A and B are shown apart, each in its own frame.
Chain A
Amino acid sequence: MFQSVLASLNEGFLRTLEIFGLTLLGAFPLGLVIVFGSTSQLRPLRYVVKFIVWVVRGTPLMLQLLIIYYGPGLILGNNWWGSSSSGRFTAAIIAFVINYACYFSEIYRGGIEGVPKGQSEAGQVLGMTKRQIFSRVILLQVIKRIVPPMGNEIITLVKDTSLARVIAVYEIIWSGQTFIKSTGIIWPLFFTGVYYLLFSGILTILLGRLEKKLNFFRV
């Protein structure tokens, strides 16, 4: 019994990991694109992007998952995502990426704005190009500033992946829950907590190491 529960939970957890990994993969760069928009000199662009960030950060991710999955069908009359599990998974990933990219963009913005102007001015008077100033002076300071808040978001994402089950993505909570219906046992659902704890524990250690690595200088 224990064996088969584990096998099933492992399978669900794999999906959880996929949501986690793909979300980060998409949201890291998309967040960067968004921050260029939300700090743009072009006022209309800036307002539009800020509006989108406000909407995404101001509504529950669960609602966004539902809207992105069911919205196209309801509004356009045809279901983009199809009825297969891979369609639901894609919809989930898109919702997660958009949601997290908006949060990341705000973290990036804080990190970039936190670097004193004197840093780039010092680079300028030393004849450095804008690109050199960014890559050699600013970037690492931004990274150092954003690692702690980024770490918080990443740990939150570990647990947020469970929201994907509202559109029937078979992540680990889903796997645990099926045992209630099929065999009447509830402990597999509770046992999923162990997976989350272990995974977030590992991430906490890794993030801590990264922070420590960046401790050789202070900003």
Chain B
Amino acid sequence: MIVLEVKNISKRFGNTEVLKDVGFTLEKGEVIAIIGSSGSGKTTLLRCLNFLETPNSGQIIVNGKILFDASSHKLLSENDIRKLRLHFGLVFQSFNLFPQYTALGNVKLAGELLAKERGDYNNNHKAILKVIDENASDLLRQVGLSDKMQLYPHQLSGGQQQRVAIARALALSPDVLCFDEPTSALDPELTGEVLKVIRSLADRNTTMVIVTHEMQFARDVADKVVFMDDGFVVESGTPEEVFGQPKQERTIRFLERYSNL
């Protein structure tokens, strides 16, 4: 079953074309890794999926429903876009945890605010908040932080912060979880713990789009690999195809830099 379909996405910043006719599909439970050098448009693509940027053309379809169509997007209200965002989760390179909330508070906040929009919130808020709290604690346990729930972001290491951020993104059960270079801001010795968490999500069939420079990780975890350069999808396929027998000259040159593979 196809969860995510990205069709002909183009994005310009002024006169610079950052994304050119980008498209891919993602089945439920699949992991797609997007690789490519800096400035190739990977991050912009993720930001488009999360409605932080508006593509100039193209479509984004989730579970068969057209969430975004560049030709009619202007008709959507701020509130419509806000709700569309909930189909996606995003884990940022720089974590972006809310510093004034504990790890648990970070994971719970958005859920609590969204719960207030529910019709039965006033009559039932204690039970609703309890479910949110338990769910958040579970998620923090899953990412290995059961003993750090009450700590504030500044009391956590980078790797721990990023794991909180992953739990926070999971708390709203998005259809697709996106990662924007989740380990690029981490010290090398801390990347392992974050990759391990992402790997365990993959094992539990979480549908994910991962922008990463960790080639070995992409090769191990991804079902599909997309190589982007200069705003284009240059090559895509299984990890074996893209890493093992790259066909395009640009892919080969890019992968040469990671020759230890």
Contact = CB atoms under 8 A, between A and B. Distances in A.
Instruction: State the main secondary structure of chain B at its contact with A.
Output: mixed
Band of interface residues on A: 20 to 34
A129 B100 CA distance: 18
B125 interface: no
A141 B113 contact: no
A2 interface: no
Given A118-B94, A217-B152, A218-B154, A128 B110 contact: yes
Contacts of B109: 126, 128, 136
Contacts of B83: 127
B89 interface: yes
B108 to A, nearest CB: 11
B96 A121 contact: yes
Chain B interface residue number, banded: 20 to 34
Interface in A91-139: 116, 118-119, 121-130, 132, 136-137
Contact of B82 (A122, A129, A217): A129
A124 B172 CA distance: 13
B86 interface: yes
B110 A119 contact: no
Given A116-B96, A121-B92, A218-B99, A127 B110 contact: yes
B17 to A, nearest CB: 23
B114 interface: yes
Interface in B72-129: 78-79, 82-83, 85-86, 88-90, 92, 94, 96-100, 109-110, 113-114
29 contacts: A118-B92, A118-B94, A122-B92, A122-B96, A122-B98, A123-B98, A124-B52, A124-B82, A124-B85, A125-B85, A125-B88, A125-B89, A125-B90, A125-B169, A126-B85, A127-B85, A127-B110, A127-B113, A128-B109, A128-B110, A128-B113, A129-B79, A136-B98, A136-B109, A136-B113, A217-B99, A218-B99, A218-B152, A218-B154
